[in-house]
Every structure is written in C-alpha cells, then in structure tokens.
Structure 1
Amino acid sequence: MSHTTLYRRSLLAALISAASLVTLMPQQALAYDENSVSALNTDAKGIAVHGHDVVAYFTDGAPLAGKAEFKASHEGATYLFATAAHRDAFKANPAKYAPAFGGFCAMGVALDKKLDGDPTAWKIVDGKLYLNVNKDVQKKWLEDVPGNLVKANGNWPQIKDKAPKDL
C-alpha cells in the first residue's frame, strides 16, 4: 500500500472519529444535519455558520457571534451579524463573505465527505473563508492547502447535493 493511500486512510479515520465526537456536543450547538441534501450547512432554523458573523472573519480577524437583530438571507440560508455594518457589507457582496463549500468542512470535502464546519476552525485563503470540522482536522488541512483545495473543488460538484450520511 502506498504512503499516500495510508495517509488518506488514517486521515479519513481521524475525520470519522472527529465527526462522531460532534454527536457528543450539546444539540443546540449543532448545525449539522446528516440527512440534508442541501449544499448549505444550516441548523433547523436555516441559520448558517452556527450563527457566527461571516464578515467578522475578514474585518476583525476572528469569529464573532451574530445577533438576531442583524440578519440577512442568501441562497436560502440566514446569516447573523454582530453589527449592522457587517450585515450591510454582506448584503452588498454575499459571495465574498459566504463560506466555501456551504460552510461544510473543507478537509471533509477534499475526502468526499460533508462534515460540519466549526466556526472556530477557520482560515481565509485567497479571499475565501474555509471552515473545518475541528482544529485537529484543520491542522491536517493546513499541511497542503493548495492540494486539498484542488481535491475539494473537484469533489464539491458531485457531493454538494447529497446527504452526508450517503457519502
């Protein structure tokens, strides 16, 4: 078995283990729905990115919790913002701020999986926001961002409309 195959299998095992840990977290913190065929990772109320302000990643360099009073809809998801200015910036250019892969884990997509995106495991690459399922998986993703993005961008069209449980 090649080194690449072994690496891929061990990384996939780590991702599956990480995804199973997600089930141990309090339910209100979860946005992940294994049965959803949506290309957007939202909670039962349609809230994206666990209610975090996607503009804040770009302007504040950190995830900030959004407020229900500052919200905007885009492609069927509701985004919450910390300030009216952030909401207005998003409304002016939602494609700039909306997370890649609908807010699903970028490393998971590289491995043909749709895993929840953790708002605290994030990175902006070439002006685009990427989330990962947790910080351990993010470390692996950061080891080869260009290669992982090539894989993820190739996989996304085939998996974006499938339920995570079917992948």
Structure 2
Amino acid sequence: MKRFALTLAATMAFAMPAFAGDQYVDGTGFAVSGYDVVAYRDLDQVAVGQSQPEAVRGRSDITADYNGATWAFSTEENRDKFLENPAYYAPQYDGHCAYGVSRGGKVPANPNLWRIVDDKLYLNITDVVVGFWEEDVPGNINLAEGNWPGIEPDAASTSVIPKFTSEGPVSN
C-alpha cells in the first residue's frame, strides 16, 4: 500500500503543472530593468567587497519574451544566445533580490548590483544588502535555495528599486 501511495504521489507530481513565479518587471516594462542579461558574462567580475562594473543596457528594438516578460539586449547576437538557453542567462529567483530570497521574501533587484556564482547570475537590491550577501555568499545561496520553492509561486514584487533610476533599454 505504501508503495502504491508513493507511486501515485510521484505520478501526480509529474501530471500537475509546474508552479512558476512571475518575473520581476519594473516601471520600464522589461525584465532586469531593460539590461542585457547575456552581457553580464562579458563583464570583468571583481572581488567580493568591491563594486561590480555597471551592467549593459539593452535596446528596445532587440527583445525576446521569456517567463512572461520582455527582455532587452544590446546586440542581436546576445538575444540569439539568450533564446538558445534563457534559463542559463536569466538571473536567479525570477530577477528578485537574492539576499531577500535568502530571508524568505521577494523584493526587487538592482541590475547594477550583481555577481555570478557557480555560473548563475544573482542580483541584489542595495549596496548595504550586497554587504550582507557577501558576508556569506554560499550560505546565503543555500538559504535562498531552501526558501525559493515556498515563495516562487507568490506574485512578483511590485516595489521599486531604491536609489535606482532606470531609464530602461536604449531606444532606437
């Protein structure tokens, strides 16, 4: 009987639709405030405790749709790379602040406060939060990974990013 129950539970898990949270989209109308998520991979990442290089703004005429949002890119080549494997390039936690997720909530993330860890892009909300995040990056990722399944189905944050003026993607 126990084996039947486990088989039924496993079958039902595969039959049910996956719960996916909403991508964080700010007032620009674009994921990651219109910044090119592929371009992060070409930026020189600095040591913990130092400010990362500023992210690259995308263009409003070079876009793709993924996870219910429109994403902007600085080049057609970057858009094509994204379309080949969007989950690889998209930031973790649907673009929400990684430290916020580690603490059990969804808050917006600033595209200029980023770090790539184990080939995954993480964003955070403020410089102060980056300091907390960097005190224990592996531990905070572990906490966030444990919290994410419980909060992923929640609606995306509707808050604005503090101290961040997003002009969105470059218009052409």
Query: Is 1:39–1:101's contact at 8 Å kept on the other side of the alignment?
Result: no
Match of 1:8 in 2: none
Structure with higher RCO (Cα < 8 A, 6+ apart): 2
Deviation at residue 38 of structure 1 after TM alignment: 4.2
Q: Percent identity?
A: 44
Once the two structures are superposed, the pairs formed by residues 89-100 of structure 1 within 5 Å of their partners are 89-100=81-92
**Residue in structure 2 matching 1:64, options 29, 48, 56:** 56
Once the two structures are superposed, the pairs formed by residues 152-163 of structure 1 within 5 Å of their partners are 152-163=144-155
Match of 1:135 in 2: 127
Stretches of structure 2 lacking an aligned partner (at least 5 in a row):
1-19, 45-52, 159-172
Higher helix share: 1
Aligned length: 129
Could you list the per-position Cα deviations for residues 91-138 of structure 1 after superposition, in whole angstroms to 9, with x for gaps in the alignment?
Answer: 111111000000000000000111110001100000000000112101
State the TM-score, normalizing by the size of structure 2. 0.70
State the TM-score, normalizing by the size of structure 1. 0.72
Question: Which letter maps to 1:116?
Answer: P
Distance 1:107 1:116 in 2: 10
Query: Is 1:104–1:117's contact at 8 Å kept on the other side of the alignment?
Result: yes
> What SS does the aligned partner of 1:88 have?
helix
Deviation at residue 60 of structure 1 after TM alignment: 3.1
Deviation at residue 161 of structure 1 after TM alignment: 1.9
Deviation at residue 154 of structure 1 after TM alignment: 0.6
**Residue in structure 2 matching 1:74, options 62, 66, 71:** 66
> What SS does the aligned partner of 2:38 have?
helix
Could you list the per-position Cα deviations for residues 48-101 of structure 1 after superposition, in whole angstroms to 9, with x for gaps in the alignment?
Answer: 000000001002344111101110111211110011111111111111100000
Distance 2:123 2:70 in 1: 17
Question: Which letter maps to 2:30?
Answer: I
Distance 1:161 1:70 in 2: 29
**Residue in structure 2 matching 1:114, options 96, 100, 106:** 106
Distance 2:127 2:68 in 1: 28
Match of 2:22 in 1: 39
